[in-house]
Amino acid sequence: NAGVTQTPKFRILKIGQSMTLQCTQDMNHNYMYWYRQDPGMGLKLIYYSVGAGITDKGEVPNGYNVSRSTTEDFPLRLELAAPSQTSVYFCASRDRGTDTQYFGPGTRLTVL
């Protein structure tokens, strides 16, 4: 049971480049989340999804887009990378029975 997987683990982007962070879960959870964690800080919610085809903004959505075409996958898209998006990005899925979120290993993104 892989749980929540994220790719890539590390990435360096130049300002203005685009990329997609991949997230997949194999626990059949309807709820999925994207967070960012800046140095020395807690996690802030970027976007979340309550099921395939349904997404909603979190606390810090500007500069990001998401889609949810399947239950398993929840990719996060950065269209025009900016230095302010340098962060560690975590994907999570939620067990509706216990309301507990399970996290992927994170992606460290640096924008130069």
Binding site for another protein (CB under 8 A): 31, 33, 40-45, 48, 50, 58, 88, 90, 92, 94, 98-103, 105-106, 108
**Toward another protein, which CB reaches closer, 17 or 44?**
44
Whichever of 57 and 82 has its CB closer to another protein, that residue is 57
Closest approach of another protein to the CB of residue 104, in Å: 8
Nearer to another protein, 14 or 42 (CB): 42
The nearest distance, CB 58 to another protein, in angstroms, is 7
> How distant, in Å, are the alpha carbons of 17, 44, 96, 97 from that of 89?
17, 10, 22, 25
Amino acid present at 70: T
Min CB(48)–another protein separation in Å: 6
Strand pairing class (10-13; 107-111)? parallel
Measure the CA–CA gap between 54 and 69, rounded to whole angstroms: 9
| CA atoms of 15 and 34, how far apart (whole Å) | 21
Dihedral sign from CA coordinates of 33, 37, 43, 46: negative
22 versus 101: smaller Cβ distance to another protein: 101
